[in-house]
Amino acid sequence: MSYWDTIVIGERVEIGSHRFEAADIKRFAAKYDPQPFHLDEDAARHSVLGGLCASGWHTTAVWMRLNVDSQTARIRAFVAAGNPVPKAGPSPGLKNLRWLKPVYAGDTVTFSQHVTAKRKSASRPGWGVIEFSCEGVNQSGETVFSFDAAAFYGTD
Amino acid sequence: MSYWDTIVIGERVEIGSHRFEAADIKRFAAKYDPQPFHLDEDAARHSVLGGLCASGWHTTAVWMRLNVDSQTARIRAFVAAGNPVPKAGPSPGLKNLRWLKPVYAGDTVTFSQHVTAKRKSASRPGWGVIEFSCEGVNQSGETVFSFDAAAFYGTD
């Protein structure tokens, strides 16, 4: 059995939750997104966002970490069951990234993904593309972030 | 004169260059994208990417930093010339993010953006949306990354 065959269109997986702490929000922002509403509580309170909140790129980076950890655990379990090690490749990109609500300091976001399509590559024999939709939902049930992405996997 | 009026459809701005060092690539990846081709030279050499390269999310985070620095400098110069402080808001999101080529350790990427549309918001008086395309080009002239984005600005 190949790992490719275990991925089913329509499956929905929760990949984990993360609480965004003020110190982490500021640390990420100081390096990659030094805007006042990501750096300082007082400045944030007087900004259009109304409070200290994570850079949108911090939210996507945390999603990526949970995604890698979740995938790694799934692949390890697959291999531990006596199956061959799957090939996985880089992502060609993503579409429709939306930051729908601010992620405030202290918010906990739960991330999930939903497989929407899979197809074998015509140009790269032995490889295929999985398409999936991702979203992050905060502790109040509000969707804060979503996007549609794709990833390459070996099909053999 | 409002800052809004200074933004012209068709303008292309180079926002800066960044050399991706192996140590930074590994540091970002260890925290947010711990895949072998972002973490370890030997593992990367034997991977589908052929060498240590930056997480796609590292590339976007560096773009964001150069974008914020470039915007801040432009707004400071505008205000220093006696104009009112512009209002700037959060990004609603982006489309068509593509990682076209790996960004290898030691590569220098030059980032630019190109204004493609501007419109006043119907639902939020005093605000408007600027649309722009961004790209990153490496030292060999290859486009490694591109996307289409939008940002809110005050129009008054």
pLDDT for the residue numbered A97? 96
B61–A61 C-beta distance less than 8 A: yes
Cβ neighbors of B85 (< 8 A, separation 6 or more) are B75, B79
Query: With contacts defined as CB-CB under 8 Å, which chain B residues touch A85?
Result: none
Instruction: State yes or no: pLDDT of B9 exceeds 80.
Output: yes
pLDDT for the residue numbered A98? 95
Q: What is the mean pLDDT of residues B43-70?
A: 94
Q: Which of residues 70-89 of A touch B (CB under 8 A)?
A: 87, 89
Best mutation target among B27, B28, B46, B48 (most A Cβ atoms within 10 Å) is: B48
Q: How far apart are CA A84 and CA A86, in angstroms?
A: 6
pLDDT for the residue numbered B88? 80
Q: Does A32 touch chain B (CB under 8 A)?
A: yes
pLDDT for the residue numbered B83? 94
Instruction: State yes or no: pLDDT of B135 exceeds 90.
Output: yes
B111 to B7, B20, B67, B97, B143: CA distances (angstroms): 18, 13, 9, 14, 10
Tens of pLDDT, residue by residue over B87-116, are 887 778 899 999 999 999 999 999 999 999
Cβ neighbors of A12 (< 8 A, separation 6 or more) are A112, A113, A114, A115
- The answer to whether the CB of B55 falls within 8 A of the CB of B39 is no
Mean pLDDT, chain A cut into blocks of 10 residues (156 residues total)? 92 96 98 95 91 96 96 94 87 91 97 95 90 97 96 89
Cross-chain CB nearest to A99 (options B37, B92, B99): B92
B102–A56 C-beta distance less than 8 A: no
Q: How far apart, in Å, do the first and last CA atoms of chain A sit?
A: 8
What are the structural domains of chain B?
3-154 (3.10.129.10)
pLDDT for the residue numbered A89? 76
Q: Does A126 touch chain B (CB under 8 A)?
A: no
pLDDT for the residue numbered B48? 83
A95–B56 C-beta distance less than 8 A: no
